[in-house]
Amino acid sequence: MVLYFTSNVVEPPAIIYMGRDKFENEELIKHSWDSDVWFHVDKLSSAHIYLRLQPCKVVPAPAPEEAAAPSAPAGRKGKFYTPPKNEAAPVDDHVYCTSWDDIPEVLLQELGQLTKANSIEGNKKDNQTIIYTPASNLKKTGDMATGAVSFHSNKLVKRVYVQTRSNEIINRLNKTKVERNPDLAQEKLEYEKAKRAEVKAEERKRRVEEERQKQEWKNKKAQSSYDSLFEEDAMTTNKDFDEDDFM
């Protein structure tokens, strides 16, 4: 059984999933998509949390309510100070999550909180480091314990820091939790098939554009040669005319 969560701090909402135990973690390691991002508490036992990467934008935080105007201060009878209106934070139009190292901080904190909360020891401690890396960077060999992994490259490991547990974030994520029993192997096959089709479509698009540019260059070259020929034919000198032509 796989547990799925939804984070609504981005749009479209982020899909997060995890296994119930180390045996399910083995299945997730085997069948995670290469674009998924894996999270774990550093140097402690914890659940394996995965983010299914998809382009997204940060949902703007609601503007705080305006504060009520205070009573007139002493010495300024009849005059009230009106505080400036609270303004909403500027809209962030950046498209995030097009790559594993471009996850917005607000979503990283949600993932960090969920990862910390699903570590028996880490959940009890403050100032925890959460490591994350592309699922394609996970390395599994036959001599490793069930659920254990290492990395192909430590350079592809980043960190997010969680100062203390946020019950508000954990409770909100837990309300979205659903249990499913997906066919992980089939889902991965379909994902890889769609990815290959996308690569082929991009390659066809590239070839069409190259052919268009090549034809455009040929047309310009032909036009240039024609214009040059036309100009040479149109050129005349005094030798081309009889003297009578000027009389």
Helix, strand, coil fractions of the chain, as percent rounded to 5? 40, 20, 40
The mean pLDDT value for 65-78 works out to: 49
How many other C-beta atoms lie within 10 A of the C-beta of residue 107? 20
Angle at 85 between CA 80 and CA 86, to 5 degrees: 135
What per-residue confidence (pLDDT) applies to 101? 95
HSE-up of residue 105 (Cα within 13 Å, Cβ side): 3
Give tens-digit pLDDT for 232-245: 555 555 555 555 55
- Do 33 and 191 touch, CB atoms closer than 8 A? yes
Give tens-digit pLDDT for 7-60: 999 999 999 999 989 999 999 999 999 999 999 999 999 999 999 999 999 999
Nearest partner of 115 among 32, 29, 31, 38, judged by Cα? 38
Tokens at 186, concatenated:
């089939």
- Looking at the chain, list the stretches that DSSP marks H as alpha helix, in order from N- to C-terminal side: 22-31, 105-117, 167-174, 184-234
Helix (H) or strand (E) holding 131: strand 128-134
What per-residue confidence (pLDDT) applies to 67? 45
227, pLDDT greater than 90: no
**Burial annotation 138-172 (CB, 10 A radius, 16+ → b, else e):** beeeeeeeebebeeeeeeeeeebebeebbeebbeb
Banded pLDDT at 63 (limits 50, 70, 90): low
HSE-up of residue 222 (Cα within 13 Å, Cβ side): 6
- Do 111 and 16 touch, CB atoms closer than 8 A? yes
Give tens-digit pLDDT for 76-115: 444 444 555 666 667 788 999 999 999 999 999 999 999 9
